[in-house]
């Protein structure tokens, strides 16, 4: 069994952004994603702009390059006006070919 190091990219955002962010990640070459409804708030306070006050967590396993590209795009498009945070963590997977950017 051979484990390969990749990145787990996590994005926590307002529900209204979920569709746009998933489209963006697909455009940049992500091969898959997981979406969960979550609760909580950050430095911006309880301002998700929706009733009830919920957030969405998007998780994408990918190579570091694509993760950085997506983070840069998110920062440019959404950081100014929306509640959204994003971070990466190291992760190990089997079958790395499943996570190879479709566009690379």
Partner 1 sequence: MINLNGKKVFGGLLTTLEILRGNLISPLVLAFLLGIFAKLLKSELSLPKDLYASLSIYLLLALGLKGGVELSESTFQAIQRPALVTLALGCLTPISAYILMKEVGRFSTVDAAALAAHYGSVSAVTFIAALQFTASMNAHAEGFMPTLVTLLESPGILVGLAIGAMKMQKATQGIEQGHAKSNAALFHEILTSRSMILMVGGLIIGFLAGAKAYEPVKPFFETGFKGALVLFLLEMGILAGTRIADLRKVGAALISLGIFIPIFHGGIGVLLGTWAGLSVGGATVLGAMAGSASYIAAPPAVRMTLPQANPTYYLTASLAVTFPFNLVAGIPLYYKIATWLHS
| Residue choice 2, 51, 90, 97 for contact with partner 1 (CB under 8 A) | 51
Q: Which is nearer to partner 1, 6 or 56 (CB)?
A: 56
SS3 state at 59: strand
Structure tokens at 42: 């950050």
Min dist CB 82 to partner 1, Å, is 6
82 near partner 1, rule: CB under 8 A? yes
Q: Hey, what's the torsion of the CAs at 71, 5, 93, 87, to 10 degrees? A: -20
Contact footprint for partner 1 (CB under 8 A): 14-16, 19-20, 37, 46-54, 80-82
């Amino acid at each position: 069994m051979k484990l390969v190091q990749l990145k787990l990219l996590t994005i926590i955002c307002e529900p209204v952004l979920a569709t746009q962010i998933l489209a963006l990640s697909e455009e940049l070459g992500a091969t898959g994603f997981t979406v969960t409804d979550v609760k909580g708030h950050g430095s911006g306070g309880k301002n998700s702009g929706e009733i009830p006050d919920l957030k969405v967590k998007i998780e994408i396993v990918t190579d570091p390059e694509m993760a950085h590209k997506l983070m840069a795009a998110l920062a440019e498009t959404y950081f100014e006006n929306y509640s959204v945070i994003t971070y990466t963590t190291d992760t190990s997977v089997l079958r790395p070919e499943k996570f190879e950017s479709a566009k690379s």
